[in-house]
């Protein structure tokens, strides 16, 4: 199976019109995707995407087009026989690397391309991605990882030992997930732009559908946040778990003071309390606000940053993003580091396609790496799933394991056509949930 061409499309949804996704840093997001299709000389195609919130999505599309020549003409077998080498090849082009390295727009584009390769790989094996990964031997999984820059935190031998320790009980966890699904928390009630009435209505609807873990956006105005937190606690009670997300708006000391005022609402964690690159600032906040945990990772740009956060005790909840990191290969090593450091992985999944992705990642984490569900919940939001050929399935607030081959990234042709952005084409609200 030879890769013949790669196409990239700029897809944008006008979610700012309903304030879905709104928070203290991002008041008017338009959920968007730089959408990749890998075409081959056979009947199969691989689809992937990286997530943005509107303007700038065209930069990711251009970066994908710059990466495409690194894959065109290669066989799928040449890639899957050396997945770590493939990833090093994609991230190691001596000229393209200069505009990263392994961060920013070029790394977002890398994620889209790498995700599309894994989608193609899973389709070629006739398996959903989570099952493809879960059927791999520990040696194959380790062989898909580029350990450069993180061997002071985890070595290939340590990663292999973690995976081997869980081999005997893998099938037991597979059966459990197929029966029960993977637990989630929802942000769909707590967007900052929602009215009080909508916040209450969303809480009641989501609780009736099985959710007991909720996240609310904070950080714009303390008194308003206190009022909104009172509302959400009135609706969900005190037995449900509540999380908070500041989306990077505070300075370090400001975050500490702000959280002292919100501590009465018993948050499990505060997400992104300050700059996503400030490892030591996160560590200072975490020490000051304990037992409230600090969560971050949505904007954590590579495995090296995650390594430093873990080594410095700057996070207690790892919220890796399926598109911010460089695709599945890099996500694998972050999950293994988190296991070694005893940190739960609770992936970020607020945007278009991210929920479809993280269901596979969390299933793999539980089946092969963590082997526990303690403090592990994947994020869920109620938006745009109907735009996918194989939309996720939720049951009682849990992700039910996908059964269709691939990485669940393939979007419907009509959605792609309707929401493709062409240099100023007005966005519409048609087809939005």
Distances (CA, A) of 136 to 40, 131, 167, 360: 24, 9, 10, 14
pLDDT score at 37: 98
Closest CA to 246 of 210, 263, 271: 271
Residue 173 domain flag: yes
pLDDT score at 189: 83
Q: What angle do CA 28, 270, 55 make, to 5 degrees?
A: 20
Closest CA to 37 of 419, 327, 413, 349: 413
Instruction: Estimate to the nearest angstrom the gap between the alpha carbon of 75 and the chain centroid.
Output: 28
* Cα–Cα distance, 146 to 162 (Å, whole number): 17
323-353 residue pLDDT tens: 999 999 999 999 999 999 999 999 999 889 9
Quote the crossing angle between the two packed helices 303-311 and 279-289, to the nearest 10°.
Answer: 40
Are 17 and 79 within one domain? yes
Q: What angle do CA 240, 244, 249 make, to 5 degrees?
A: 175
SS3 328: helix
Are 110 and 179 within one domain? no
Are 68 and 214 within one domain? no
Average per-residue pLDDT in the chain?
94
pLDDT score at 222: 95
pLDDT score at 416: 96
Are 112 and 168 within one domain? no
Statement: residue 111 has pLDDT above 50: yes
pLDDT score at 15: 82
| Phi, psi dihedrals of residue 214, rounded to the nearest 5° | -130, 145
Q: Calculate mean pLDDT across residues 178-205.
A: 91
Are 196 and 112 within one domain? no
Cβ proximity of 191 and 22 under 8 Å = yes
| Phi, psi dihedrals of residue 282, rounded to the nearest 5° | -60, -40
48-78 residue pLDDT tens: 999 998 999 999 999 999 999 999 999 999 9
Residue 140 domain flag: no
Statement: residue 25 has pLDDT above 80: no
pLDDT score at 17: 80
Residue 146 domain flag: no
Work out the pLDDT band at 430, boundaries 50, 70, 90.
very low
The CATH number covering residue 21 comes to: 3.30.390.10
Are 175 and 307 within one domain? yes
Are 88 and 217 within one domain? no
Residues 20-55, buried b or exposed e (16+ Cβ, 10 A)? bbbbbbbeebbbbbbbbbbbbeeebbbbbbbbbbbe
Query: What is the count of structural domains for the chain?
Result: 2
Q: Which residues are catalytic?
A: 217, 348
The bridge status of strand 213-217 relative to strand 241-245 is: parallel
- What single string gives the DSSP state of each residue in 392-425? -EEETTEEEPP-SSB-S-PBPHHHHHHHB--SSP
| Enclosing domain of residue 112 | 3-126+415-419
Residue 397 domain flag: yes
Are 29 and 169 within one domain? no
**342: which residues sit within 8 A by CB, 6+ positions away?**
none
């Amino acid at each position: 199976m030879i890769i013949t061409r790669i196409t990239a499309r700029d897809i944008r949804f006008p979610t700012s019109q309903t304030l879905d996704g709104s928070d203290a840093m991002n008041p008017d997001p338009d959920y968007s995707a730089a959408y990749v299709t890998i075409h081959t000389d056979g009947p199969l195609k691989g689809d992937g995407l990286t997530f943005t919130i509107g303007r700038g999505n065209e930069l990711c599309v251009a970066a994908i087009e710059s990466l495409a020549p690194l894959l065109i003409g290669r066989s799928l077998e040449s890639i899957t026989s050396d997945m770590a080498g493939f990833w090093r090849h994609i991230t190691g082009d001596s000229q393209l690397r200069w505009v990263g390295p392994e961060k920013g727009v070029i790394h977002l584009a890398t994620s889209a391309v790498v995700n599309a390769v894994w989608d193609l790989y899973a389709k070629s094996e006739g398996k959903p991605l989570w099952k493809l990964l879960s059927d791999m031997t520990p040696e194959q999984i380790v062989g898909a990882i580029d350990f450069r820059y993180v061997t002071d935190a985890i070595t290939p031998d340590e990663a292999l030992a973690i995976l081997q320790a869980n081999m005997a009980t893998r099938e037991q966890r597979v059966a459990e997930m197929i029966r029960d699904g993977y637990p989630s928390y929802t942000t769909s009630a707590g967007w900052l732009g929602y009215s009080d009435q909508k916040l209450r209505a969303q809480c009641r609807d989501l609780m009736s559908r099985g959710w007991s873990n909720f996240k609310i956006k904070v950080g714009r105005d303390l008194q308003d946040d206190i009022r909104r937190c009172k509302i959400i606690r009135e609706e969900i009670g005190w037995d449900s778990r509540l999380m908070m997300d500041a989306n990077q708006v505070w300075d370090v000391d400001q975050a500490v003071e702000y959280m002292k005022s919100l501590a009465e609402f018993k948050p499990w964690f505060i997400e992104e309390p300050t700059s996503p690159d400030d490892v030591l600032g996160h560590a200072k906040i975490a020490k000051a606000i304990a037992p409230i945990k600090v969560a971050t990772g949505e904007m954590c740009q590579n495995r090296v940053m995650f390594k430093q956060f873990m080594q410095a005790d700057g996070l207690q909840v790892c919220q890796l993003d399926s598109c911010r990191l460089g695709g599945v290969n890099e996500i694998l090593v972050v999950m293994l580091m988190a296991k070694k450091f005893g940190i739960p992985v609770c992936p970020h999944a607020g945007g278009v396609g991210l929920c479809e992705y993280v269901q596979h990642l969390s299933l793999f984490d539980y089946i092969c790496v963590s082997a526990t569900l303690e403090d592990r919940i994947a994020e869920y939001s109620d938006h745009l799933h109907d735009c996918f050929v194989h939309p996720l399935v939720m049951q009682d607030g849990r992700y039910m394991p996908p059964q269709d081959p691939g990485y669940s990234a393939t979007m419907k042709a009509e959605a792609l056509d309707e929401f493709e952005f062409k240099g100023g084409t007005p966005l519409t609200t048609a087809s939005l949930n």
